[in-house]
Chains A and B, each alone.
Chain A
Amino acid sequence: MEKKIADLQKKLDQKYPGCIQVELDQSRIVLTGVMNSWEDIIDACKMCVQKDKNIHVVNHIELKGVKKPQMRISSIQDTKYDGRHCDVLIIGGGISGASIARELSRYKLDILLVEKESDLAMQASGRNDGEIHPGVDLNKGSLKQKYVVKSNRSFDQLCQELDVPFKRVGQIVGFKDKKLYPIIWAYAMQRKYICGVDDTCLISRKKIKELEPNLSDDIQFGLYNPMAGSVSPYGLTIAYGENAIQNGVEIALNTAVLSMEVNNHKIIRVTTNRGMIYPDIVINAAGVFADDIAKMADDEFFSIHPRKGTDSILDLKAGKMISSIVSTKTLKKDNSHSKGGGIVHTVHDNLLIGPDAIETYEKENFATERKSIDQVFSKHQKTSNIRQSDIITYFTGVRAATFEEDFVIEKGRNTKNIVHCAGIQSPGLTTAPAVSKDVVKMTIDLLSEHKTVEKNELFNPIRKGIPDLKHMDLKKRNELIQKNPDYGIIICRCEEISKGEILDALNSVLEVTTIDGVKKRVRPGMGRCQGGFCMPLVAKIISEYKNIPLSEVRKSGADSIISYGKTKENTDETI
């Protein structure tokens, strides 16, 4: 190992003379120094990645002249959770944290999940394409691959239990060069028989045309995985969270972990903006901030290098063009660390185009850029004739990548009472069901060292979602309206969402009474008018439900004011 480090140092000195020092330290490779460009830092760190996946690269290189932005936290400061003890503290309310919370609630434990944002699934889990991956792009040897196929197969039951819409839309990767057929055939067979991706098959141009008549005529054959699916990533996260609450978990929103007190390899105390929490075990599911949490816990053995990607959503009309998840590939090496995105038929029947992949030192820069959209479109227009004029919205998410480009699912190395669920990027949404079960196993192992953990006999895996009236048969829809006339009042005309559904969203076990919270749960404002018509109506419903003036209704975070107050007294309009 000593020699390996010396070799790495030599290589780095050749490429970046005098910039970086490499050290091997408790099975991690730590890079220190100062560099001028973030791209160079990423490059230097990548040069140090080892075949042995247990050795992670830790990046301590300073980016010259740049102060990395602080983690954004809610303006709320109180003592709501001060002095709170719990068996397990889960940090992060994304798909990882929420799924772990639900799986952990199968045990009789006091579980607290803290999320710094005003809702669940606010970062990567709410900002991705919602694909349930078949796993055909992954080879043996990674944690991603270990979990992906098993997890994919569990989605039918999971989504039934959690009452979350899920469709196995299938995935087609098209190839335009006939000569590639033997290579792709070998690849497909390896994936099918060695990696266990048993739904993999090759399909002819004719079959592709049958499945997807609007794909490019140049596509000669395709790699097909009918088990690929689409789900609403934030819908699934919220459903997991709600089921966890029903089974006894407490979820604390707007609650950010600021520091930890570690004593004798044990986390004693966790400081948040809402008081000090005293957990027995901590689960690190903090997404892009997982390395910061690990550092606070004195257990930093990996680094996250944020990589942002932008997706566009096309109008429902365009959704009729493509019914599955499609892309085209050449054999040209793709260094972008994303399989290059594609065109996804979402579970809500829109098309989603993207994402791209751009390295950034900003963990929370969700700003979109025109050039991302242009590039993604020019790439995927080779697959099908998609048009920018059909765009109804776009968004950016940031992937929480490690330099090894794999998950970190393990107990703390230095600190004894932490479990890391880190480095979760694609296919992290797909793998959540299996990953969460393993994280729970590790957590129970740790807890069992000093106490008996009992099963939660009352655990109920069933969560009832909000009725989706638009997709119901008319007879059932009529019955529901008879019972509750609010289901007959359409508030969002583009997505056909009723007042009753909006009230149900406000009434959920996890109360998120914001415009965006309602939008994520029942979709008013997700359509082609993007809330131009319904936003004032939804705001009014929230104000009536909460009995607060409109000036206290928020779009999302505590400071996302919509109105500054009344212009005059006695103005009122009911919906």
Chain B
Amino acid sequence: MKQYDTLVIGGGPAGLAAAIGAKKENGEVLLLEREQRLGGILKQCIHDGFGLIQFKERLSGPEYVERFIQEFLSLNIDYETLAFVIKIDKKEGFYHVSYVSKKGVCEVTVRSLIIATGCRERTAKQIQIHGTRPSGVFTAGCAQHFVNLLGEKIGNKCVILGSGDIGLIMARRLTLEGMKVLGVYEAKATPSGLTRNLVQCLEDYQIPLYLSHTVTRVFGEERLNAVEIMQVDEKMRPIEGTQEIVECDTLILSVGLIPENEITESLGIALDLKTKGPYVDDYFMSSLENVYICGNALHVNDLVDYVSESGLIAGKNSMRQHVSTQSVSIDLSDDFLYLVPQRVSVHDVQESMFYFRAKKEMKAADLLVKVNGKEIMKRRYKNLKPPEMEKIKVKWEMGKISENDHIEIELKEDLCVK
């Protein structure tokens, strides 16, 4: 059986960076990708705006990921495409991994695992859309695959539900491909996507955005012929009497992404209900020794630059000699939507990187880090919005985290700033 130091599962932006990171630490690395080509979902993200942080350039998805693919290939890292992991067993400190490919059922033994499986989209049924089951209802990513990769015109008159970035980008994309986008509907009272996308994808094309509205029902026996739209209250429950029928042949759903953690869960790793991804420490290691999670499989990032960054860190860390699963959890205040890593490893440490989202829009807020009640760091944030992720580097001035340390991170809104 072939042996590797690190196996990376997933050849998207997180997995490629992870493999590069591990290889640069002189690791023997294998990367497995389930699709035919490397690049993950970026293959179909032909819009621009990728890489502003990483490369200080505005790249399209394929251009962005191509840079990583080129670096990955130049390092002569072993990889297989159309390779799908079906089973992982832990034995004597190693992981025995079975996967299938055109060659058959293959097995490898590895010391470290990096799970970079990305995320998937929520579906119509998960948000309680009822009615018939016609064709013409697509998740945004599925629509993107048809339009951008296969060059297919999937509809004529579209309604888009969800103002997340993919929904906004698809509104522009479908318009450019000659389809009529009747409107983008959003159940929340505020848009879910980045401000730049609201401007560049909707305003520039005069596509209306309807906040506090949702699609409750679809009509049509064969192809979709209409949807029912309802206004929703502040708890996002439809308000009776506000039903409105909109004739259309296509419904695009951009209603949220969920980290894909089937493999992680099969290993018995617990998931954080807030991120829907696993709990990890500041090495991006899960509760299981030498199993790392990065990218959108850990939590859904707003920008791909952070996805690559987490991959690179996880990759490097996967080559550590001494690992310990001992870690302390962080007490979070209520104003966080989530914060990752959720734990800090017990070790000598100078600094740790965290990513977080605020639960609601805040004009101004202070982030406070406390260890055993003592404030060690304070940072001021302006214009925090849930769709936009923030990154913070915490310097541990004591240079060490021990198991009895009590770490608190607080987000305090400054209500005086309007």
Contact = CB atoms under 8 A, between A and B. Distances in A.
Contact of B153 (A317, A558, A563): A563
Contacts of B222: 555-561
A532 B151 contact: no
Nearest to B36: A575
Interface string B145-162: 111011111111000000
Contacts of A554: 135
Given A478-B104, A536-B146, A557-B221, A493 B139 contact: no
B84 interface: yes
Contacts of B145: 536
A202 interface: no
A559 B124 CA distance: 21
A488 B103 contact: yes
B208 interface: no
Contact of B223 (A496, A530, A561): A561
Interface string B136-147: 100101100111
Nearest to B141: A532
Contacts of B136: 561-562
B125 A551 contact: no
Nearest to A557: B222
B99 to A, nearest CB: 9
Contacts of A475: 105
A113 to B, nearest CB: 23
Nearest to A476: B105
Given A493-B34, A529-B120, A368 B130 contact: yes
B223 A532 contact: no
Contacts of B100: 469, 477, 481, 488, 490, 498
Chain B interface size, as a band, is: 35 or more
A187 interface: no
A73 to B, nearest CB: 11
Interface string A542-572: 0000000011001111111111111110111
B128 interface: yes
A395 interface: yes
B135 A561 contact: yes
B57 interface: no
Contacts of A485: 102-103
Interface in A474-488: 474-475, 477-478, 481-482, 485-486, 488
A535 B125 contact: no
Given A368-B130, A560-B223, A566-B152, A392 B103 contact: no
A496 B154 contact: no
B152 A563 contact: yes
A564 B156 CA distance: 8
Given A394-B125, A536-B145, A561-B135, A489 B150 contact: no
A494 B84 CA distance: 11
B290 to A, nearest CB: 24
Nearest to B140: A532
B52 interface: no
Interface string B108-121: 00000000000011
B130 A488 contact: no
A227 B147 CA distance: 50
A392 B126 contact: yes
Contacts of A478: 104-105
Contact of B133 (A366, A391, A528, A540): A366
B151 A568 contact: yes
Contacts of B141: 532-533
Contacts of A489: 82, 101-102
B179 to A, nearest CB: 9
Contacts of A490: 34, 82, 84, 100
Contacts of B126: 391-392
A574 interface: yes
B82 A550 contact: no
Nearest to A371: B130
B152 A533 contact: no
A392 B102 contact: no
Interface string A390-422: 011111000000000000000000000000000
B177 interface: yes
Count chain A CB atoms within 10 A of each CB in B121, B135, B151 and give the residue with the most. B135
A535 B120 CA distance: 14
Interface in B371-414: none
Contact of B104 (A482, A529, A531): A482
A478 B105 CA distance: 5
Contacts of A317: 265
A482 B104 CA distance: 6
A395 B133 CA distance: 9
Nearest to B102: A485
A205 B96 CA distance: 41
A361 B133 CA distance: 20
Contacts of A488: 82, 100-104
Nearest to B130: A368
Contact of A536 (B130, B150, B223): B150
A562 B135 CA distance: 6
Contact of B146 (A530, A560, A563, A568): A563
Nearest to A564: B153
Nearest to B250: A564
Contacts of A564: 152-156
B200 interface: no
Interface string A177-206: 000000000000000000000000000000
Count chain A CB atoms within 10 A of each CB in B125, B156, B177, B178 and give the residue with the most. B125
Interface in B218-267: 221-223, 262, 265
B134 A560 contact: yes
B86 interface: yes
A532 B120 contact: yes
B324 interface: no
Count chain A CB atoms within 10 A of each CB in B87, B221, B265 and give the residue with the most. B221
List 6 A-B pairs, minimum CB-CB distance, nearest first: A571-B151, A555-B135, A559-B222, A563-B152, A485-B102, A490-B84
25 contacts: A367-B132, A367-B217, A392-B125, A470-B86, A481-B104, A482-B104, A488-B100, A488-B101, A488-B102, A489-B102, A493-B34, A528-B120, A529-B121, A530-B124, A531-B142, A550-B146, A554-B135, A557-B222, A559-B222, A560-B134, A561-B222, A561-B223, A562-B135, A563-B150, A564-B152
Given A367-B217, A567-B178, 14 more contacts: A367-B131, A391-B126, A474-B87, A490-B84, A529-B123, A535-B142, A536-B149, A536-B150, A550-B150, A550-B152, A567-B153, A571-B150, A572-B151, A573-B149
